[in-house]
Amino acid sequence: MNPCKALLPTVVAALLAPAISQAAPPAQDATPLTTGSVRLDIASGRVEGDVCVSNLPNASKGSFVLNAGLNVARVTDGDGKPVGFDGWYDPGVDGEARIYTLAEPAAMLCVQYVGAFPLYPKHDAPTDFKGLMAFNGDSARFTEQSAWLPQAFDPKARVRSSESRYDLQVDCSGCRFLYLNASPAIEGAQGRFRSDNARPILLFGGSGPITRTAQVTILNESLPPAKVEALSSTVQKIADVHSRYMGVPLVDRPTFLRMVTLNQIERDREGSEWGFATWPTIAMSGSVGNVADSLLADGDNAERRVQYIAHEMGHYYFGTLNRPQGPYFWVLLESSAEFLSIKALREISGDAAADRYIARLQSAIDTQEKPLPAFDAIDGSSDLGEMYRYVYAPLLLLSLEKQVGEAKMQAFMRGLLAAPSPRSWAELQTIALKAGIDTKAWEHWRASCVAGGKAKQ
């Protein structure tokens, strides 16, 4: 039997760690802090900000980005002193945002800005995507990608500081409720939101209903109790499995957000759905009720939803407590969440469900002709696409587990959570050795499964 095929034998013991240990969350670098106030108006699409960002990364003290539909009125330092900046004419662009360059680096950056966005109350816009500041007539949706708040920008690496702690006052004319990612939603048109953890900052203001249970928040859609219960109990099970496996309690609970997209008419006509997750928010264009329906129906659809929710909840560990950086960024962020989701799927939906899921990944990789970047040779310039993040690297992790056993693999995953992101293969190996994986086993895995980036095993 090929040692790199990731399918585990069907006898998989219950998760090995008996209890949640008091493992300390990983040390975090100082993260940016975003403070100030934002006003918006659902009826006019107008947005005004008076926002400061402090504790900026060194490489990002001289530039920031802001959505291209917003106009900068002035930039000041923390003491109110004006700071000169470029970007009025022939500005640099980063996706949906303009790049502004300060005359001199500032430790604290305060930006006053204003803009107005088109309204699509008929949901007949030519497009919609995560980077738009979206007004659909009865709600506003600004994700972190839209750069609705100034974000420090590293012009060399072209990287935005898109996650930040926050203390923000939001006033929304026309909103019945307000939600900032990772804070409790509030009923009302204004509120102050704080987070001591760095988060991608997403804002949603709307007029729909809110349902809260101990396990989930459902925004902008009301569901019958049986569906709420289906979501709640699934989330509870996943939280239990992940917490036990990682040895650190999963504190966040997801918010399911129903959004009516700017181009909802076209989506309805095509029957297409669109969603994204900005943990702990899971946003979807269809109905959150569809997820609950699938969970209640059992079978393949239920398994896919369990795996999906488990993947997103895995981002509490890889993405929130541990914020990956460096050459293994995508593997540490996405493949580890994927690995955890397969663990949860096995626990919750059974061995057959997990094996089916793994077999699907395996068949996707079997049809890949081109070799992928070898995991032991990737560096910052390696192009790790979706196939790599969601299919190939999760299978590699499973093949490692098959070779070293579940207990050591669990220790390795906990080691990845607790350690700063490895910057090299040697640093990755150090984490493996600490987890009790011996050099011989590690080298055997490297030689038999990793080297050469063989897509076909």
Site for Zn ion in 305-344 (CB under 5 A): 334, 337
β-strands 163-173, 33-41: how paired?
parallel
Rounded distance between C-alpha atoms, residue 337 and residue 294, angstroms: 22
Tell me if 32 sits within 8 A of 53, measured CB to CB.
yes
Tell me the two tokens of residue 11: 């006898």
Contact string 126-145 vs Zn ion (x = CB under 5 A): --------------------
Q: How far is the CB of 394 from Zn ion (least distance, A)?
A: 11
Q: In terms of CB distance, is 160 or 389 closer to Zn ion? A: 389
CA-nearest of 394, 390, 396 to 376 is 396
Tell me the two tokens of residue 181: 């990612």
Q: How far is the CB of 341 from Zn ion (least distance, A)?
A: 9
Tell me if 133 sits within 8 A of 67, measured CB to CB.
yes
Size of the site for Zn ion (CB under 5 A): 2
Q: In terms of CB distance, is 187 or 386 closer to Zn ion? A: 386
Rg value, the chain, Cα: 23
> Greatest CA span in the chain, whole angstroms?
69
Q: In terms of CB distance, is 130 or 434 closer to Zn ion? A: 130
How would you class 25 by CB atoms within 10 Å of its CB: exposed for 0-12, middle for 13-18, buried for 19 or more? middle
Phi, psi of 433 (to 5 degrees): -65, -40
Contact string 85-114 vs Zn ion (x = CB under 5 A): ------------------------------
Phi, psi of 388 (to 5 degrees): -70, -50
Q: How far is the CB of 144 from Zn ion (least distance, A)?
A: 14
Q: How far is the CB of 138 from Zn ion (least distance, A)?
A: 29
Q: In terms of CB distance, is 56 or 337 closer to Zn ion? A: 337
Q: How far is the CB of 101 from Zn ion (least distance, A)?
A: 32
Q: In terms of CB distance, is 32 or 319 closer to Zn ion? A: 319
Residue written as token pair 């099970």: 237
Q: In terms of CB distance, is 129 or 308 closer to Zn ion? A: 308
Provide the β-strand partners of residue 153: 160
Which of the 8 DSSP states describes residue 420? P
Contact string 352-391 vs Zn ion (x = CB under 5 A): ----------------------------------------
408: amino acid identity, one letter: K
Q: In terms of CB distance, is 65 or 313 closer to Zn ion? A: 313
Rounded distance between C-alpha atoms, residue 450 and residue 1, angstroms: 17
First to last CA, the chain: 11
Q: How far is the CB of 277 from Zn ion (least distance, A)?
A: 7
Q: In terms of CB distance, is 337 or 345 closer to Zn ion? A: 337
Tell me the two tokens of residue 424: 């090299």
Q: How far is the CB of 315 from Zn ion (least distance, A)?
A: 6
Q: How far is the CB of 181 from Zn ion (least distance, A)?
A: 15
Give contact residues for Zn ion (rule: CB under 5 A).
334, 337
